[in-house]
A and B are shown apart, each in its own frame.
Chain A
């Protein structure tokens, strides 16, 4: 039949395209990051458990369905059965998913409880979202600064080649110590934003007038990039987050000689905020 040959061609085309993409760009990530904290690892594990569970259930369920589609087709001359209910099987396929869900809920509950425990922290950073930049304040350390996208406008407008960290780079990075429990106090100044760094598995909404708490304890030094994760207006896509995690003593050193923004500079940025729009 013509439809079938057309179909085969189309199928081949699509899988060809997918395969080519897969081979030529094996480097593009397709899964969640494991991250660099104990929590992020737990979250990743939970994600993989849920994913494989769904795959297994899917294979079983669709397997039965596809088998039936081949075996129980009219063209094979079968006569249809007439059964149409069975309380036993209904009970079975209500109970089994229920049990599976309970099994899944237990580790999820544990991880969630751990994530929400913001007690016993070593350091507090207050994070405030603005349209469209972030402000960081190290509570009781006398250090605060703004952090703005540093990708040049020409790259965004396709007038210059794009850098490796296109849209994921800022002028002032948030410097944090490794091996310390850091508490984040997250809020916003104008509209909702959300502070998200995938490698830390921290995502919390920044809400004007309220403070949300989150925490992290980074295991490895490095640079971790994230983005604003709540629609906040025209430049929502242009307010990234960059965390630089350093060893604890290096961090203390950094804090000590940090004068990232003098009060005047801060004021200057505050004036700029009024008119800022990266993409205009």
Chain B
């Protein structure tokens, strides 16, 4: 390819974006109807989801093919880097909204409902006798969802922290192996990372079952249950996505992609994984420990 290193590749038209729009739109329409209790909603959702998956195979497949053909110069590579980096930043802000909600509930709404600060009359006239606290008794004056036991930090969550941190290490190890051309180590590192991610998710499921069955803690357990499950739930979703991305990378490694110098997709997946890791640390501190 003559133009590889000195020209910025501009694809000549692509039908994937419009497929993506149709797919996501179908998925959304299905989901919205599902929430409204419409009977035919589920098949629509499934179709939408299938289109999205098909699109992702097609779109990313095209990009991978182009890349393998050497059509991307280092400037294109840089565009991808900026793109991925700021995408992750936007994800951080999405989590920030939920962390913000947790902060607000703990520092303002629960104390106000309990009569602290500007909440004196609120407590006196509307919720007399309510004494909220955190993490116990944080399901509001109406005791929404009934009695519950908060999730302790030093059981499964601590183990999960160790697991995710280890997975960050194994991933870095794999990265070094990639750069040093140790293919065996690279593949083992990737498998370990993905396995740790899966293990984490497994324990997370155990934790949820524990919460629902033994602790009386559900998504409906007032603001405590709400913030607990929404934060850990969205995080778990991101771990799952991250693990899938890593799996794709693993297959590409096995297929012989990536060179010690050029392996942006690997790095992007690694950034994403580390981001998920850091969010977990935030969760461990603010949701479980404090």
* Chain A in direct contact with chain B (Cβ < 8 angstroms): yes
Q: What residues of chain A have their CB less than 8 Å away from a CB belonging to chain B?
A: 126, 185, 187, 209-211, 213
Candidates B112, B119, B126; contact of A187 at CB < 8 Å: B126
B112: chain A residues at CB < 8 Å are 210
- Interface SS, B side: helix
Q: What is the predominant secondary structure among interface residues of chain A facing chain B?
A: strand
Closest to A185 in B: B121
B121 touches A209 (CB 8 A): no
Residue of A nearest to B123 (CB): A211
Q: Does B125 contact A (CB under 8 A)?
A: yes
For A210, give the chain B residue with the smallest CB separation. B122
Specify which chain B residues have a CB less than 8 angstroms from the CB of A209 in the assembled complex: 113, 122, 126-127
**CA of A126 to CA of B125, assembled, Å:** 9
Closest to A137 in B: B125
Among residues of B, the one whose C-beta sits closest to the C-beta of A124 is B121
In Å, the complex CA distance between A211 and B124 comes to 9
A-B contact count (CB 8 A): 20
B interface list, Cβ under 8 A from A:
112-113, 118-119, 121-122, 125-127
B258, chain A: closest CB distance, angstroms: 50
Known: A126-B125, A209-B113, A213-B121. 15 other contacts (CB 8 A): A185-B121, A185-B125, A187-B125, A187-B126, A209-B122, A209-B126, A209-B127, A210-B113, A210-B119, A210-B122, A210-B126, A211-B121, A211-B125, A211-B126, A213-B118
Which 3 A-B residue pairings sit nearest by Cβ, starting from the closest?
A211-B121, A211-B122, A210-B122
Rounded to whole Å, the gap between the CB of A25 and the closest CB of chain B is: 44
A210 to B116, CA, bound (A): 12
Chain A residues whose CB sits within 8 angstroms of the CB of B121 once the complex forms: 185, 211, 213
Cα distance, A126 to B119, chains bound together (Å): 15
Q: List 8 A-B contacts (CB under 8 A).
A: A126-B125, A209-B113, A209-B122, A209-B126, A209-B127, A210-B113, A211-B122, A211-B125
* A187 (CB) vs chain B CBs: closest residue: B126
A126 to B126, CA, bound (A): 11
Bound-complex Cα distance A185 to B121 (A): 8
Q: How far is the CB of B222 from chain A (nearest CB, A)?
A: 12
Q: Which residues of A contact B127 (CB under 8 A)?
A: 209
Scoring B112, B113, B121, B127 by chain A CB atoms within 10 A of each residue's CB, the highest score goes to: B121
